[in-house]
């Protein structure tokens, strides 16, 4: 029975690329999933390596999903090597709370993360008094140093000026990657610079709401110019913590992990426990107060979720 990879899922159909074939529309087999998947509450995902059989009408049926190396719930995709987390530095302004929430979800999966800050060409040197939320070059540099110090790769890009595109391509060479982030931050514009012959739909930012419309409505793997595969995905303005437990939240903050080993109590939540080394590090400035504040906020969300359910 032939093997392949699901490269697109849309309206109940799975587009399977047979093993050894090049990623082109003419090479994919349009498949349905076996009924047993629904009975077992299993959903085939883009990125899944599968067994399939062709039917007489030229279509096919996915008969088996092979073991996954990784799985993301939002966006729904399997076997990803790298997540490129895309946030604009302006229009809409960079939201560090939402950035940290995305990072928690990705760290919980164990997948490598690359941070990409878009629209860097729109930054000003100084904040205008009438626009206190405006990002400046100096503020972006401070934020970049913060996340690089934690251990993340941070790339700054401008699709309009084609700045930073080659750096991202180098990080994604030969990998299966996914672009994720808030709506309207320029994911599709960036991908248009990285994929030959594609023109993904883009949309302007709503001036009233300060966010973009969802121009991507399904998950699909696309071929990069360097042999990698990348998924453009719908943007998200909010995430929940259904997959993260309170006891595991701390480990999703990379800079907490080593420090937390010195806490007096195993399973320390870094709230009011005595001899908490994470709180000591925040007081000393070796852990950023913004990151700790977001940790407390997310911990509260997780506890509220438990009370509701």
For residue 227, say whether it is annotated as part of any ligand binding site.
Answer: no
Question: How big is the chain by its Cα radius of gyration, in Å?
Answer: 21
Taking the CA of residue 285 as centre, how many other CA atoms within 13 Å lie in the half-sphere pointing to its CB? 0
What is the C-alpha to C-alpha distance for residues 16 and 6, in angstroms, rounded to an integer?
A: 4
Does 276 appear as a known binding residue?
yes
Residue carrying structure tokens 């998200």: 236
**Is 171 known to sit in a ligand binding site?**
no
Residue 62 annotated as part of some ligand binding site: no
Residue 306 annotated in ligand binding = no
State the angle between helix axes of 137-150 and 289-308 in degrees (0 to 180), rounded to the nearest 10: 70
Task: Report yes or no: 184 and 116 within 8 Å, Cβ to Cβ.
Answer: no
Compute the Cα dihedral for 220, 225, 226, 227 and give only its sign: positive
Q: Is 268 annotated as a binding residue?
A: yes
| 33 known ligand binder | no
The response to whether 3 counts as a known ligand-binding position is no
Give the tokens for residue 209: 């709401």
259 marked as binding residue: no
Please indicate if the annotation marks 28 as binding a ligand.
no
Residue 252 counted as an annotated binding residue: no
Does the annotation list 145 as a binding residue? no
181 annotated to a ligand binding site: yes
Q: Is 186 annotated as a binding residue?
A: yes
Q: Identify the CA nearest to 47 among candidates 27, 73, 26.
A: 73
Q: Is 116 annotated as a binding residue?
A: no
158 annotated as ligand-binding: no
Annotated binding site: 118-121, 181-189, 263, 268, 270, 276
Binding residues for Zn(2+): 263, 268, 270, 276
Binding residues for GTP: 118-121, 181-189
């Amino acid at each position: 029975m032939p093997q392949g990879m699901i490269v697109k899922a849309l309206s109940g159909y799975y587009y399977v690329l047979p093993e050894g074939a090049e990623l082109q529309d003419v090479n994919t087999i349009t498949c349905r999933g076996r009924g047993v998947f629904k009975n077992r509450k299993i959903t085939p995902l883009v990125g899944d390596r599968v067994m399939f059989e062709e039917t007489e009408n030229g279509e096919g049926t996915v008969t088996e999903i092979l073991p996954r190396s990784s799985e993301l719930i939002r966006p729904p995709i399997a076997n990803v090597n790298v997540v490129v987390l895309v946030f604009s530095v302006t229009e809409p302004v960079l939201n560090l709370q939402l950035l940290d929430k995305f990072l928690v979800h990705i760290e919980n999966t164990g997948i490598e993360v690359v941070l990409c800050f878009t629209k860097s060409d729109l930054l000003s040197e100084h904040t205008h008094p009438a626009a206190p939320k405006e990002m400046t070059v100096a503020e972006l540099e401070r934020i970049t140093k913060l996340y690089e110090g934690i251990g993340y790769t941070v790339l700054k890009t401008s699709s309009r000026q084609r700045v930073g595109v080659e750096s991202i391509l180098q990080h994604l060479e030969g990998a299966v990657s996914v672009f994720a982030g808030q709506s309207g931050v320029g994911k599709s514009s960036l991908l248009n610079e990285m994929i030959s012959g594609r023109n993904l739909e883009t949309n302007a930012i709503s001036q009233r709401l300060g966010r973009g419309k969802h121009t991507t409505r399904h998950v699909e793997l696309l071929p990069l110019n360097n042999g990698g595969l990348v998924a453009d995905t719908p943007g998200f303005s909010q995430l929940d913590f259904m997959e993260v437990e309170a006891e595991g939240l701390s480990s999703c903050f990379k800079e907490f992990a080593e420090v937390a080993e010195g806490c007096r109590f195993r399973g320390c939540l870094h709230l009011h426990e005595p001899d908490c080394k994470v709180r000591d590090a925040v007081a000393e400035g070796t852990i950023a107060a913004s990151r700790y504040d977001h940790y407390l906020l997310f911990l509260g969300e997780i506890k509220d979720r438990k009370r509701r359910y």
